[in-house]
Amino acid sequence: MSLKLPIYLDHAATTPCDPRVVEAMLPFFTETFGNPGSRNHRFGWEAEAGVDAAREQVAQLIGADEKEIVFTSGSTESNNLAIKGAAYLYEKNPAGSGKPRGHIITAIHEHKAVLDPCKRLQKEGFDVTFLEPGRDGIITAEMVEAAMRDDTILVTVMWANNEIGTINEVPRIGALCHRREVIFHTDATQWVGKMPTDVEKDQVDLLSLSGHKMYGPKGVGALYVRRRRPRVRLQALVDGGGQERGFRPGTLNVTGIVGLGKAAQIARAEMDADADRLFRLRKKLEDTITGQLDSTQVNGHRERRLPHITNISFGFVEGESLMMAIKEIACSSGSACTSASLEPSYVLKSLGVGDDLAHSSLRLSLGRWTTEEQIDYTADAIVKSVRKLRLLSPLYDMHKEGIDLSKVQWAQH
């Protein structure tokens, strides 16, 4: 069989829908199209049965009770509801009192869907601490504990990072928060469905997950909201028909929810085998690249990482040229296009990766249908492209001659 190009290695951005998920969704567009809120006829009941089954499947994936699952449009909404909804309800001082409304702890290399709600709360009178990770990218329970104050109301730390795949100390942070009676939210978008999750054992109070990061459809996700020990309350962010116990009103996205449920069921059954296989493939990819090229580094902690994500920096190549050279491999770079310029990734910067290296970094994320053939092709293409680009680099020549570039006095322009 010949290899089809381009090769998709950007599963941390989104995953394809599993065909079994699509199959489960299809009847809910046509035959079973009812509104689950319609209590008086069979159309409504059948749609509701589909939603109930999905709620059970999502709950089982994370060790929750189905009453603790609130369906949303995805992790961005789940994060907003968790963070703002908890902050408004648990505030210690009212707005305008001259005192901070409450203290929130998060980290500087969280996803924007956590950082932006936190920044909004900061503008509205809450104090926010943005923890800085070490070079390994990990947030530990000790870092969180050192930042805790008497008025801390919420800790929000992601389970696994979307750019580098590093895994924060979630069960230990959960235990700390429970001891201190602080609400603990985790953005588990990259974690759930890939790694075993048990909100009881891991002591999580609020957890965000998203369909399209786990082989389900886009535009659907869930927020887990703990109901006992402690019972977590939230202020809803929109007003309406009272669906989802008032946390998230609006007619349910039945097809999406059914798809998310099916994706959760498949993930629960297959995550161990998927993780083993992807770990071996990623290792082969990393070992080949770092074995054949000098001046490369894998970013983030070497062991505490998701099995399917790698983030590699290549010295002495220009990021944009590298992306151009490997056009047939769909992956992410360490640069984010903002309106005016190419900004180096704030996640890599937070680990102390310099701007140049951050620009010449690639995030390669593998998925359920990634093959060994694709990995071999990718490793080979990257090695060849980097070698070719370095042939054009005077800096690389100097480096090879043993000149310490950090000590070179450059001529003034």
Ligand X SMILES: *Cc1c(COP(=O)(O)O)cnc(C)c1O
**Residues touching ligand X: how many (CB under 6 A)?**
13
At its nearest, how many Å lie between ligand X and the CB of residue 388? 32
Among 152, 210, 310, 365, binds ligand X (CB under 6 A): 210
Residues 366 and 331: their CA atoms lie apart, in Å, by 10
User: Residue 261 or 315: which CB sits closer to ligand X?
Assistant: 261
Which residue is listed with tokens 């329970």?
141
Q: Is 311 in the site for ligand X (CB under 6 A)?
A: no
User: Residue 111 or 359: which CB sits closer to ligand X?
Assistant: 111
In contact, 249 and 239? CB cutoff 8 Å: yes
Q: Is 256 in the site for ligand X (CB under 6 A)?
A: no
What are the tokens at 57?
């499947």
Please report the DSSP string for 264-317 in residue order.
HHHHHHHHHHHHHHHHHHHHHHHHHHHHH-SSEEE-S-SSSB-TTEEEEEETTS
> Of all residues in this chain, which one has the CB nearest to ligand X in the complex?
74
Q: Is 162 in the site for ligand X (CB under 6 A)?
A: yes
Q: Is 170 in the site for ligand X (CB under 6 A)?
A: no
User: Around Cβ 387, how many Cβ atoms within 10 Å?
Assistant: 13
Q: Is 221 in the site for ligand X (CB under 6 A)?
A: yes
**Per-residue binding letters, 30-69, with ligand X (x by CB under 6 A):** ----------------------------------------
Q: Is 213 in the site for ligand X (CB under 6 A)?
A: yes
In contact, 219 and 260? CB cutoff 8 Å: no
Residues 400 and 301: their CA atoms lie apart, in Å, by 28
Among 80, 166, 168, 190, binds ligand X (CB under 6 A): 190
In contact, 98 and 250? CB cutoff 8 Å: no
User: Residue 210 or 385: which CB sits closer to ligand X?
Assistant: 210
Active site residue 331: no
Strands 152-156 and 183-187 come out as parallel
User: Residue 166 or 189: which CB sits closer to ligand X?
Assistant: 189
Beta carbons within 8 Å of 114's beta carbon, 6+ residues apart: 79, 83, 106, 156, 158, 187
Residue 143: which of 159, 161, 155 has the closest Cα? 155
Among 69, 87, 113, 306, binds ligand X (CB under 6 A): 113
User: Residue 75 or 296: which CB sits closer to ligand X?
Assistant: 75
Residues 193 and 18: their CA atoms lie apart, in Å, by 13
At its nearest, how many Å lie between ligand X and the CB of residue 193? 12
Please, which of residues 13-32 interact with ligand X by CB under 6 A?
A: none
Among 18, 46, 91, 187, binds ligand X (CB under 6 A): 187
The beta strands (E) that lie in 12-78 are given as: 69-72
Q: Is 168 in the site for ligand X (CB under 6 A)?
A: no
Q: Longest Cα pair distance anywhere in the chain, in angstroms?
A: 81
At its nearest, how many Å lie between ligand X and the CB of residue 113? 4
Q: Is 185 in the site for ligand X (CB under 6 A)?
A: no
Q: Is 75 in the site for ligand X (CB under 6 A)?
A: yes
User: Residue 28 or 191: which CB sits closer to ligand X?
Assistant: 191
Beta carbons within 8 Å of 294's beta carbon, 6+ residues apart: none
By annotation, the residues acting in catalysis are: 337
Binding site for ligand X (CB under 6 A): 74-76, 111, 113, 158, 162, 187, 189-190, 210, 213, 221
